[in-house]
Homo-oligomer: A and B are copies of this chain.
Protein backbone atom coordinates (compact mmCIF):
# COMPACT_ATOMS: atom_id res chain seq x y z
CA UNK A 1 0.00 0.00 0.00
CA UNK A 2 2.47 2.61 1.15
CA UNK A 3 5.69 1.99 -0.72
CA UNK A 4 7.07 4.51 1.73
CA UNK A 5 9.18 6.54 -0.60
CA UNK A 6 11.95 8.21 1.35
CA UNK A 7 14.83 10.44 0.63
CA UNK A 8 16.85 7.36 -0.32
CA UNK A 9 14.58 6.37 -3.18
CA UNK A 10 14.55 9.91 -4.46
CA UNK A 11 18.35 10.02 -4.33
CA UNK A 12 18.66 6.78 -6.19
CA UNK A 13 16.11 7.78 -8.78
CA UNK A 14 17.95 11.03 -9.42
CA UNK A 15 21.36 9.46 -9.32
CA UNK A 16 22.67 11.46 -6.38
CA UNK A 17 23.30 10.88 -2.68
CA UNK A 18 20.76 11.41 0.09
CA UNK A 19 22.76 14.33 1.33
CA UNK A 20 22.17 16.14 -1.93
CA UNK A 21 18.45 15.53 -1.76
CA UNK A 22 18.45 16.89 1.74
CA UNK A 23 20.31 19.93 0.51
CA UNK A 24 17.78 20.51 -2.24
CA UNK A 25 15.11 20.46 0.44
CA UNK A 26 16.83 22.70 2.94
CA UNK A 27 19.48 24.77 1.23
CA UNK A 28 18.54 24.80 -2.45
CA UNK A 29 21.08 27.52 -3.23
CA UNK A 30 23.99 25.30 -2.35
CA UNK A 31 23.30 22.71 -5.01
CA UNK A 32 23.95 23.16 -8.73
CA UNK A 33 20.87 24.15 -10.72
CA UNK A 34 21.06 21.13 -12.98
CA UNK A 35 21.11 18.58 -10.18
CA UNK A 36 18.50 20.54 -8.30
CA UNK A 37 16.13 20.20 -11.22
CA UNK A 38 16.82 16.52 -11.48
CA UNK A 39 16.12 15.98 -7.81
CA UNK A 40 12.97 18.06 -7.86
CA UNK A 41 11.74 16.04 -10.82
CA UNK A 42 12.38 12.82 -8.94
CA UNK A 43 10.55 14.16 -5.90
CA UNK A 44 7.60 15.07 -8.03
CA UNK A 45 7.57 11.81 -9.89
CA UNK A 46 7.76 9.60 -6.85
CA UNK A 47 5.34 11.71 -4.85
CA UNK A 48 7.84 12.05 -2.04
CA UNK A 49 6.68 13.69 1.18
CA UNK A 50 9.31 14.57 3.70
CA UNK A 51 8.95 12.77 7.00
CA UNK A 52 8.72 15.52 9.56
CA UNK A 53 9.32 13.19 12.48
CA UNK A 54 12.69 12.20 11.18
CA UNK A 55 13.53 15.74 10.29
CA UNK A 56 12.59 17.02 13.67
CA UNK A 57 14.36 14.25 15.45
CA UNK A 58 17.58 15.10 13.76
CA UNK A 59 17.25 18.84 13.31
CA UNK A 60 15.90 19.38 16.80
CA UNK A 61 13.45 22.08 15.86
CA UNK A 62 9.90 22.03 14.60
CA UNK A 63 7.97 24.61 12.65
CA UNK A 64 4.77 24.78 14.57
CA UNK A 65 3.29 26.70 17.45
CA UNK A 66 0.18 25.65 19.30
CA UNK A 67 -2.54 27.63 20.98
CA UNK A 68 -4.51 25.84 23.65
CA UNK A 69 -7.75 27.69 23.83
CA UNK A 70 -10.30 27.80 26.61
CA UNK A 71 -13.33 27.50 24.38
CA UNK A 72 -13.08 27.21 20.64
CA UNK A 73 -16.77 27.99 20.33
CA UNK A 74 -16.25 31.45 21.77
CA UNK A 75 -15.58 33.88 18.91
CA UNK A 76 -13.38 35.90 21.20
CA UNK A 77 -10.80 33.17 21.22
CA UNK A 78 -10.98 32.45 17.53
CA UNK A 79 -10.32 36.12 16.94
CA UNK A 80 -7.31 36.01 19.21
CA UNK A 81 -6.22 32.86 17.41
CA UNK A 82 -6.40 34.74 14.16
CA UNK A 83 -3.96 37.28 15.46
CA UNK A 84 -1.67 34.56 16.70
CA UNK A 85 -1.77 32.79 13.39
CA UNK A 86 -1.01 35.89 11.38
CA UNK A 87 2.04 36.64 13.44
CA UNK A 88 3.13 33.01 13.40
CA UNK A 89 2.85 32.76 9.64
CA UNK A 90 4.90 35.87 9.15
CA UNK A 91 7.66 34.15 11.06
CA UNK A 92 7.27 30.95 9.08
CA UNK A 93 5.41 28.93 11.64
CA UNK A 94 2.16 27.07 11.39
CA UNK A 95 -0.39 27.09 14.17
CA UNK A 96 -2.22 24.14 15.66
CA UNK A 97 -5.31 24.97 17.66
CA UNK A 98 -6.27 22.79 20.61
CA UNK A 99 -9.51 23.13 22.49
CA UNK A 100 -9.42 22.45 26.20
CA UNK A 101 -13.13 23.26 26.38
CA UNK A 102 -12.60 24.52 29.94
CA UNK A 103 -11.67 21.02 31.00
CA UNK A 104 -8.59 20.73 33.16
CA UNK A 105 -7.98 17.18 32.13
CA UNK A 106 -8.08 17.91 28.44
CA UNK A 107 -5.86 20.87 28.97
CA UNK A 108 -3.27 18.76 30.72
CA UNK A 109 -3.43 16.09 28.05
CA UNK A 110 -2.92 18.57 25.28
CA UNK A 111 0.00 20.20 27.04
CA UNK A 112 1.60 16.82 27.51
CA UNK A 113 1.07 15.89 23.89
CA UNK A 114 2.40 19.18 22.61
CA UNK A 115 5.54 18.87 24.64
CA UNK A 116 6.06 15.36 23.35
CA UNK A 117 5.62 16.72 19.86
CA UNK A 118 8.33 19.24 20.67
CA UNK A 119 6.37 22.13 19.23
CA UNK A 120 8.41 25.28 19.14
CA UNK A 121 6.20 26.99 21.68
CA UNK A 122 2.83 26.93 23.38
CA UNK A 123 0.33 29.70 23.84
CA UNK A 124 -2.36 29.04 26.34
CA UNK A 125 -5.38 30.60 27.93
CA UNK A 126 -5.46 28.25 30.86
CA UNK A 127 -8.36 26.77 32.77
CA UNK A 128 -5.98 25.93 35.50
CA UNK A 129 -3.01 28.21 35.86
CA UNK A 130 -1.02 25.41 37.41
CA UNK A 131 -1.23 23.31 34.31
CA UNK A 132 0.71 25.89 32.40
CA UNK A 133 3.56 25.28 34.76
CA UNK A 134 3.67 21.69 33.63
CA UNK A 135 5.19 22.80 30.42
CA UNK A 136 8.19 24.25 32.13
CA UNK A 137 10.39 21.38 31.13
CA UNK A 138 11.79 23.14 28.13
CA UNK A 139 8.96 24.21 25.86
CA UNK A 140 8.40 27.95 26.07
CA UNK A 141 4.93 28.94 27.19
CA UNK A 142 3.17 32.27 26.96
CA UNK A 143 -0.02 33.00 28.84
CA UNK A 144 -2.72 34.66 26.79
CA UNK A 145 -5.43 36.82 28.28
CA UNK A 146 -4.13 36.07 31.74
CA UNK A 147 -1.34 37.59 33.73
CA UNK A 148 1.50 35.38 34.86
CA UNK A 149 1.79 35.73 38.59
CA UNK A 150 5.35 34.53 38.88
CA UNK A 151 8.12 35.71 36.62
CA UNK A 152 8.59 32.33 35.00
CA UNK A 153 6.83 33.03 31.72
CA UNK A 154 5.68 35.82 29.49
CA UNK A 155 2.07 36.85 29.45
CA UNK A 156 -0.21 39.07 27.47
CA UNK A 157 -3.29 40.24 29.24
CA UNK A 158 -5.92 42.90 29.33
CA UNK A 159 -6.67 44.77 32.50
CA UNK A 160 -9.75 42.87 33.58
CA UNK A 161 -10.15 44.77 36.82
CA UNK A 162 -10.30 48.01 34.88
CA UNK A 163 -12.72 46.39 32.44
CA UNK A 164 -15.09 45.46 35.22
CA UNK A 165 -14.78 48.91 36.66
CA UNK A 166 -15.59 50.58 33.33
CA UNK A 167 -18.66 48.45 32.85
CA UNK A 168 -20.14 48.94 36.27
CA UNK A 169 -19.23 52.60 36.49
CA UNK A 170 -21.18 53.08 33.27
CA UNK A 171 -24.19 51.36 34.80
CA UNK A 172 -23.97 53.45 37.95
CA UNK A 173 -23.76 56.61 35.89
CA UNK A 174 -26.94 55.51 34.18
CA UNK A 175 -28.63 55.52 37.55
CA UNK A 176 -28.54 51.85 38.48
CA UNK A 177 -28.05 51.02 42.13
CA UNK A 178 -28.96 47.33 42.15
CA UNK A 179 -26.63 45.51 39.82
CA UNK A 180 -26.14 41.84 39.08
CA UNK A 181 -22.88 40.33 38.01
CA UNK A 182 -23.26 37.13 36.02
CA UNK A 183 -20.31 34.78 35.66
CA UNK A 184 -18.40 31.83 36.90
CA UNK A 185 -16.93 29.61 38.00
CA UNK A 186 -14.84 31.80 40.25
CA UNK A 187 -11.89 29.51 39.68
CA UNK A 188 -11.43 31.39 36.42
CA UNK A 189 -9.15 34.33 36.96
CA UNK A 190 -10.95 36.59 34.51
CA UNK A 191 -14.19 36.24 36.38
CA UNK A 192 -12.54 37.10 39.65
CA UNK A 193 -10.79 40.14 38.23
CA UNK A 194 -13.84 41.50 36.49
CA UNK A 195 -15.82 41.13 39.67
CA UNK A 196 -13.14 42.94 41.61
CA UNK A 197 -13.37 45.76 39.09
CA UNK A 198 -17.11 45.85 39.58
CA UNK A 199 -16.61 46.14 43.31
CA UNK A 200 -14.16 48.94 42.86
CA UNK A 201 -16.72 50.82 40.80
CA UNK A 202 -19.20 50.52 43.64
CA UNK A 203 -16.69 51.78 46.16
CA UNK A 204 -15.74 54.71 43.95
CA UNK A 205 -19.37 55.69 43.73
CA UNK A 206 -19.93 55.29 47.45
CA UNK A 207 -22.34 52.39 47.02
CA UNK A 208 -22.42 49.52 49.52
CA UNK A 209 -21.12 46.10 48.54
CA UNK A 210 -24.64 44.72 48.69
CA UNK A 211 -25.49 46.74 45.61
CA UNK A 212 -23.89 43.92 43.62
CA UNK A 213 -25.60 40.53 43.44
CA UNK A 214 -23.30 37.84 42.18
CA UNK A 215 -25.04 35.24 40.04
CA UNK A 216 -22.73 32.27 39.81
CA UNK A 217 -22.67 30.21 36.61
CA UNK A 218 -20.99 26.92 35.83
CA UNK A 219 -19.37 28.22 32.70
CA UNK A 220 -19.23 31.08 30.25
CA UNK A 221 -21.54 29.78 27.52
CA UNK A 222 -24.80 31.08 26.12
CA UNK A 223 -26.81 28.38 27.85
CA UNK A 224 -25.47 29.45 31.23
CA UNK A 225 -26.54 32.99 30.46
CA UNK A 226 -30.07 31.79 29.79
CA UNK A 227 -30.07 29.95 33.08
CA UNK A 228 -28.92 33.03 34.93
CA UNK A 229 -31.71 34.98 33.26
CA UNK A 230 -34.29 32.66 34.68
CA UNK A 231 -32.83 32.90 38.14
CA UNK A 232 -32.71 36.66 37.85
CA UNK A 233 -36.36 36.94 36.93
CA UNK A 234 -37.21 34.60 39.76
CA UNK A 235 -35.93 37.10 42.33
CA UNK A 236 -38.53 39.11 44.28
CA UNK A 237 -39.12 42.39 42.47
CA UNK A 238 -37.92 44.45 45.40
CA UNK A 239 -34.50 42.83 45.33
CA UNK A 240 -34.24 42.29 41.59
CA UNK A 241 -31.34 44.18 40.00
CA UNK A 242 -32.07 46.69 37.27
CA UNK A 243 -28.85 46.03 35.45
CA UNK A 244 -26.56 43.11 34.78
CA UNK A 245 -22.86 42.96 34.05
CA UNK A 246 -21.89 39.71 32.36
CA UNK A 247 -18.39 38.30 32.48
CA UNK A 248 -18.72 37.46 28.85
CA UNK A 249 -20.70 38.32 25.72
CA UNK A 250 -21.93 34.76 25.42
CA UNK A 251 -23.50 35.01 28.85
CA UNK A 252 -24.94 38.38 27.95
CA UNK A 253 -26.49 37.03 24.77
CA UNK A 254 -28.04 34.15 26.70
CA UNK A 255 -29.33 36.54 29.30
CA UNK A 256 -30.83 38.73 26.59
CA UNK A 257 -32.57 35.80 25.02
CA UNK A 258 -33.98 34.69 28.32
CA UNK A 259 -35.28 38.20 29.05
CA UNK A 260 -37.13 38.40 25.75
CA UNK A 261 -38.60 34.96 26.28
CA UNK A 262 -39.86 35.95 29.70
CA UNK A 263 -41.35 39.14 28.42
CA UNK A 264 -38.92 41.56 30.01
CA UNK A 265 -37.44 44.39 28.03
CA UNK A 266 -33.83 45.39 27.64
CA UNK A 267 -32.72 47.96 28.63
CA UNK A 268 -35.95 49.18 30.25
CA UNK A 269 -36.46 46.33 32.68
CA UNK A 270 -32.84 45.26 32.72
CA UNK A 271 -29.78 46.96 31.30
CA UNK A 272 -27.08 44.58 30.13
CA UNK A 273 -23.34 44.94 29.67
CA UNK A 274 -21.26 42.19 28.12
CA UNK A 275 -17.56 41.63 27.83
CA UNK A 276 -15.28 41.01 24.84
CA UNK A 277 -17.32 42.84 22.21
CA UNK A 278 -17.46 39.88 19.88
CA UNK A 279 -18.85 40.49 16.45
CA UNK A 280 -22.23 39.05 17.38
CA UNK A 281 -22.66 41.51 20.24
CA UNK A 282 -23.52 44.29 17.82
CA UNK A 283 -25.92 42.05 15.91
CA UNK A 284 -27.84 40.92 18.95
CA UNK A 285 -31.54 41.31 19.58
CA UNK A 286 -30.66 44.45 21.45
CA UNK A 287 -27.21 45.60 20.38
CA UNK A 288 -25.00 44.93 23.32
CA UNK A 289 -22.93 47.37 25.31
CA UNK A 290 -19.66 45.58 25.88
CA UNK A 291 -16.11 45.92 27.07
CA UNK A 292 -13.83 45.60 24.08
CA UNK A 293 -10.47 43.96 24.20
CA UNK A 294 -7.84 44.30 21.47
CA UNK A 295 -8.28 40.71 20.40
CA UNK A 296 -6.16 40.71 17.33
CA UNK A 297 -3.31 42.56 18.97
CA UNK A 298 -3.53 40.29 21.96
CA UNK A 299 -2.87 37.33 19.71
CA UNK A 300 -0.17 39.00 17.69
CA UNK A 301 1.89 40.15 20.65
CA UNK A 302 1.49 36.82 22.35
CA UNK A 303 2.95 35.09 19.31
CA UNK A 304 5.74 37.61 19.09
CA UNK A 305 6.68 37.16 22.73
CA UNK A 306 6.69 33.43 22.24
CA UNK A 307 8.95 33.65 19.24
CA UNK A 308 11.31 35.97 21.10
CA UNK A 309 11.53 33.41 23.84
CA UNK A 310 14.58 31.62 22.57
CA UNK A 311 16.63 34.67 21.93
CA UNK A 312 19.92 34.59 23.84
CA UNK A 313 19.22 36.73 26.88
CA UNK A 314 15.48 36.68 27.05
CA UNK A 315 13.63 38.31 29.89
CA UNK A 316 10.03 37.37 30.52
CA UNK A 317 7.72 40.24 29.79
CA UNK A 318 4.20 40.96 30.90
CA UNK A 319 2.24 43.04 28.45
CA UNK A 320 -1.04 44.50 29.61
CA UNK A 321 -3.55 46.15 27.34
CA UNK A 322 -6.34 48.50 28.26
CA UNK A 323 -9.97 47.59 27.64
CA UNK A 324 -12.48 50.05 26.26
CA UNK A 325 -16.21 50.40 26.79
CA UNK A 326 -18.44 50.31 23.73
CA UNK A 327 -21.88 51.67 24.50
CA UNK A 328 -24.89 50.40 22.58
CA UNK A 329 -28.63 50.07 23.00
CA UNK A 330 -28.61 47.49 25.79
CA UNK A 331 -27.73 50.22 28.28
CA UNK A 332 -29.61 53.15 26.85
CA UNK A 333 -30.47 55.60 29.63
CA UNK A 334 -33.53 54.70 31.68
CA UNK A 335 -36.52 56.91 31.46
Contacts and interface: CB of A to CB of B under 8 A. Distances in A.
A63 B116 CA distance: 11
Contact of A81 (B51, B94, B99): B99
A335 interface: no
Interface in A22-75: 47, 49-57, 62-64, 66, 72-73, 75
Nearest to A106: B89
A75 B54 CA distance: 36
Nearest to A254: B283
Contact of A94 (B52, B95, B110): B110
A65 to B, nearest CB: 12
A117 B256 contact: no
| Copies in the assembly, this chain | 2
A225 to B, nearest CB: 9
Contact of A253 (B53, B78, B81, B283): B283
Contact of A53 (B75, B78, B117, B287): B117
Interface residues of A, number: 54
A275 to B, nearest CB: 16
Contacts of A13: none
A279 interface: yes
Contacts of A99: 81-82, 85, 95, 97
A172 interface: no
A52 B283 contact: no
Given A222-B283, A283-B285, A138 B49 contact: yes
Nearest to A56: B53
Given A72-B81, A96-B96, 7 more contacts: A55-B116, A72-B82, A97-B98, A283-B285, A284-B285, A285-B285, A285-B287
Which 7 residue pairs are nearest across A and B when measured between Cβ atoms?
A97-B97, A52-B116, A96-B96, A53-B56, A53-B57, A53-B53, A253-B283
